[in-house]
Amino acid sequence: MRNTSKRVGFLASSAGVLAIIATGIVLAAGTAAASTSVHAVAYRLTATLTPDQVVPAAQAPAGAMGSFHGVLIMSGVGATRAATLAGCKVVVPPKRSGLPYRINCGGGAVGTVPGAPGQWRLIWRLSVSHLSGPATGAFIHLAAPGQSAAPSFKLCSPCLPVSHGVMALSSTHAATLSTTQEYVDVATAKNPNGEIRGQIMRTLAGFAIGR
């Protein structure tokens, strides 16, 4: 008899797989009656922010720019492996110390695992330069290139030239970030609706499926 309980690791980045993972997120957060669940998932999120992507156009100094890097990961079985697949460094605590594993995704973006079982986290880092003034806020919006939308997730407010953090997310919010077109923008006093903006590029790093 074929063993259907064995977990299988996958690496993929196609749109079809993203749809499968979105379904798996719901299964993982569902009731105990669900027979299959996604145990560990990691996405790498990146964006290059420039003034010419802002809608409507913003008056910004020459050279204004920014970069966003994030890792969207679920705590639980296989979380440390998923973090490794996403390009993060996993720091193992001393034996019997009781300390959690730490995930360092570069640039000061640091988180810990495991969190609460099934807890999604966005570990992120944002850097900006040559703005018209201090960054008053940075947000993730759900919209395609050339379109605008109200903020859905706040990264920081106000923001430093280099900011980083860890955001706890519900499975619904994680499903949104893993399947929807979205962008990051940074506001200033001169441009409160956004001075620089970048569309988020998403890469599936790895996942494990089991019963």
Domain assignment present for 137: yes
Whether the pLDDT of residue 102 is over 80: the answer is no
Residue, of 77 and 44, whose pLDDT is higher? 44
Domain of 63, in residue numbers: 42-203
- Of 160, 133, 144, 158, the residue nearest 197 (C-alpha): 144
Domain assignment present for 14: no
Convert the pLDDT of each residue in 7-58 to its tens digit. 333 333 333 433 333 433 333 333 333 334 444 567 889 999 999 999 988 9
Of 25-29, 66-70, 103-107, 192-196, the poorest mean pLDDT is in 25-29
**Does the CA dihedral 8-80-15-21 come out positive or negative?**
positive
Domain assignment present for 59: yes
Domain assignment present for 31: no
What's the number of domains the chain is made of?
1
Residue, of 125 and 17, whose pLDDT is higher? 125
**151-166 burial: b if 16+ Cβ within 10 Å, else e:** bebebbeebeeebbbb
Of 31-35, 164-168, 184-188, the poorest mean pLDDT is in 31-35
- Of 119, 114, 111, the residue nearest 171 (C-alpha): 119
3-class secondary structure, 34? coil
DSSP 50: B
Burial of 128 (0-12, 13-18, 19+ CB in 10 A): buried
Domain assignment present for 53: yes
Cβ(120)–Cβ(105) below 8 Å: no
Instruction: State the chain's mean pLDDT as an integer.
Output: 75
